[in-house]
Chains A and B, each alone.
Chain A
């Protein structure tokens, strides 16, 4: 456990901003298009092509701490990431893929490469 980087007030404010923005993204279509207007094609287009690009961006973001200075810096993430993808292609089970890979990663960083 680490000491939080924010005061409780700052953390609460951050969380409320996340809540407000999340609600906004969910409510916007209802606010804008409930009268039967058609959404602009560019929004529909971005809505279809952005999600895979953003998920790929977030995977890279998650792996930003990887270091190639020693095997301990990259082998656990590489192996566990491949296991997550492999399990998912094989079994199509979200929970199995996520938990299998996370437990493996924890074992690798705490035990094997500690």
Chain B
């Protein structure tokens, strides 16, 4: 009897959540496939793609992860760069504290699965009246995660089975960051942070070389941003301008 009652409710939740996630479905299949292809091109196949997408579940983080695996980066560097690229997530949770309140154990999964896209959906989506909001949020998060895993495995499989020349597929990472930068440029009122990031990194590239450039670059960026706070700290800063 319990099962009979549970299944229609889940189906109703799924029917309400799925349409909201269609844009993410297309995006994650495509960006996930490019990730799978990149990963396969450095010698890690579909099982590795599934492992990374299940446990890490981050677009730009996993693109960077491919590069870290390829160069055999040490664990300290891996931890630091992953932290840096995900720093923006520190602000996401703040606006969702209310929505996730009282979700019990599922809240752990909601925090884990808070990618840019899921954050954007959850910030705006409203559950229909006959669907529990917490079931609705959880289903959206689960669907998005499954698209990402499926996309990355498909990409790795395609690279393995089709065997076409994937030289240059790593440019997908550059293109992804350029796209995010263009969106940020439009959304943010001030461009000093972006220009500072570029200039500081080029200077460090020239001074210390490609292998050790990121740490000093990050140090300079944070220092200058802290020093420039009186000029830059305005209340009208844009939010939600990041993709992936």
Contact = CB atoms under 8 A, between A and B. Distances in A.
A45 B29 CA distance: 34
Contact of B56 (A19, A30, A34): A19
Nearest to B84: A54
Interface residues of B, number: 103
A56 B204 CA distance: 13
Contacts of B70: 2, 5
Contacts of A44: 91
A97 B86 CA distance: 23
Interface stretch (B11-19, B132-140, B173-181): B173-181
B213 A64 contact: yes
A53 B199 CA distance: 10
Contacts of B225: 46, 49-50, 53
A110 B170 CA distance: 13
B205 A60 contact: yes
Contacts of B87: 25, 46-47, 50-51, 54
Interface in B176-212: 176-185, 188, 190-191, 193-198, 200-202, 205, 210
A59 B181 contact: yes
A105 B168 contact: yes
A70 to B, nearest CB: 17
A88 B198 CA distance: 19
A84 B217 CA distance: 25
B73 A14 contact: yes
A48 B57 contact: no
A95 B26 CA distance: 9
Contacts, number: 281
A43 B232 CA distance: 14
Contacts of A45: 229, 232-233
Contact of A25 (B90, B193, B200): B90
Q: Is chain A's binding surface mostly helix, strand, loop or mixed?
A: helix
Contact of A4 (B69, B73, B191): B69
A30 B110 CA distance: 11
Nearest to A53: B197
A88 to B, nearest CB: 5
A30 B100 contact: yes
A26 to B, nearest CB: 5
Nearest to B94: A29
Contacts of B108: 27
Interface string A75-114: 0110011001100110000110111011001101110000
Contacts of B166: 106
29 contacts: A3-B43, A5-B69, A18-B58, A18-B61, A18-B68, A22-B82, A23-B112, A26-B112, A27-B111, A29-B91, A29-B94, A45-B232, A46-B225, A49-B193, A54-B87, A54-B197, A56-B194, A56-B195, A56-B196, A60-B197, A60-B201, A62-B174, A62-B177, A77-B174, A80-B171, A81-B174, A94-B179, A97-B178, A98-B31
Interface of A: 1-6, 10-19, 21-30, 33-34, 39, 41-65, 76-77, 80-81, 84-85, 88-89, 94-95, 97-99, 101-102, 105-106, 108-110
The 10 closest A-B pairs by CB, nearest first: A29-B93, A5-B72, A56-B197, A53-B197, A47-B91, A105-B171, A106-B168, A19-B55, A60-B201, A25-B86
